[in-house]
Amino acid sequence: MTTLSELIGRDDANDLDAILSVDRPYAEGVIHSVTDNCEAIFTWDYAKGQRPALNKLYEKAKDAQWNGETDLPWDTDVDIERSITSVFGEEPLWEEIGLRVEGTPMASWGRQEWIRYHSEMNNWTMSQFMHGEQGALLCTAKIVETVPWIDAKYYAATQVMDEARHLEVFVKYLDEKLDGHYPLNPHLGMLLDEIIGDARWDMTYLGMQIMVEGLALAAFGTMHAITPDPLLKKLLRYVMADEARHVAFGVLSLREYYEHLSEAELFERQEFAFEAAIHMRDRLMAQEVWERMGVDAKTGILAGKRGENERLEDPFQQLLFSKIVPNCKKLGLLEANDGWLRKRFTDIGVIQFEDWADTGDEYESLSIDAGDPEPQRDAG
């Protein structure tokens, strides 16, 4: 069995000093290359619809294409300060966002620092989404090459277009409405590198469609619900409609494949899912934002802890696992090997979501009819 140290680079998943001390290779240069180790697979079995659920998803995706340039209201005047104060208040309200700041530099912050903190956090969050979308673009292009089923190749091709569009709109929003990108967070970067570098086609799905996109779907839903910016609201709503299909693509494809794997093979998938969960939990600590605010990252992150113990607990961030855990359950990954992944998810405080709705068919309720100018506002 792989040790925790071999899996995630440290013996204690919650070791904050180790989390904060990782290298940051993603802030340098313009190009980052990863060896993808894959074989491109042709199939001569062209019979369409052998996998009816994937075929249905493909037909849906063809009708659900939208244009990021023309379908979103880019002429909206985005006033970030007004958005921040309407959501978070005019003055620091730390308790309301779950931080305890007594004895920290944040205790003396006033209105200006409060707004700047949220503004930086917004830029950081949108920047990570942007980088994640590029990761999804590369992963899905890889799936087109590596998956052996024609229905899956067809569907994955539509997802490549979806991800190009998502990347395009996040870049445009950051460039035109916000002020400045953040580099790719090192924890998210390590995860994307590992997903892309794995030779096994199902690991691309597990890492991207189940873990990264599962978290993104939950995060977009939360942001969509709270943002007062009509441009961002519509952008997120359109992206969510696509992402729900992408997660469904992962669940539908892997459910069939995992039924035929041995316990030993499933164990490798359980380890991979746990490693991905840890990387994503670590990246959500947003250490770069604290540093840019001139606050020691550990001080900022520890202010977000609740309770008396030294564990990293944050109800909002745990909620971001609300799609991942039920989807892992549906794939049989929680229970295999005497519940190994169930125990790990219990350790990091996210197992409570296991019976939430899985995302195998959530895409139906999140879909936007092509050309519909008024998408449903509050799904997700």
By CB under 5 A, name the binding residues for Fe ion.
133, 136, 163, 166, 213, 243, 246
Q: Token match 């997660």: residue?
A: 247
Instruction: Compute the least distance from the CB of residue 252 to Fe ion, in Å.
Output: 15
Dihedral of alpha carbons 43, 46, 50, 53, sign: positive
Q: Token match 């939950």: residue?
A: 218
Instruction: Compute the least distance from the CB of residue 23 to Fe ion, in Å.
Output: 27
Q: Decide whether 91 or 364 has the Cβ nearer to Fe ion.
A: 364
Instruction: Compute the least distance from the CB of residue 334 to Fe ion, in Å.
Output: 23
Q: Decide whether 167 or 341 has the Cβ nearer to Fe ion.
A: 167
Q: Decide whether 166 or 224 has the Cβ nearer to Fe ion.
A: 166
Instruction: Compute the least distance from the CB of residue 136 to Fe ion, in Å.
Output: 5
Instruction: Compute the least distance from the CB of residue 165 to Fe ion, in Å.
Output: 8
Q: Decide whether 203 or 297 has the Cβ nearer to Fe ion.
A: 203
Instruction: Compute the least distance from the CB of residue 202 to Fe ion, in Å.
Output: 17
Instruction: Compute the least distance from the CB of residue 213 to Fe ion, in Å.
Output: 5
Q: Decide whether 166 or 330 has the Cβ nearer to Fe ion.
A: 166
Cβ-Cβ contacts under 8 Å for 339 (sequence gap 6 or more): none
Q: Decide whether 283 or 344 has the Cβ nearer to Fe ion.
A: 283
Instruction: Compute the least distance from the CB of residue 187 to Fe ion, in Å.
Output: 19
Q: Decide whether 142 or 246 has the Cβ nearer to Fe ion.
A: 246
Q: Decide whether 120 or 163 has the Cβ nearer to Fe ion.
A: 163
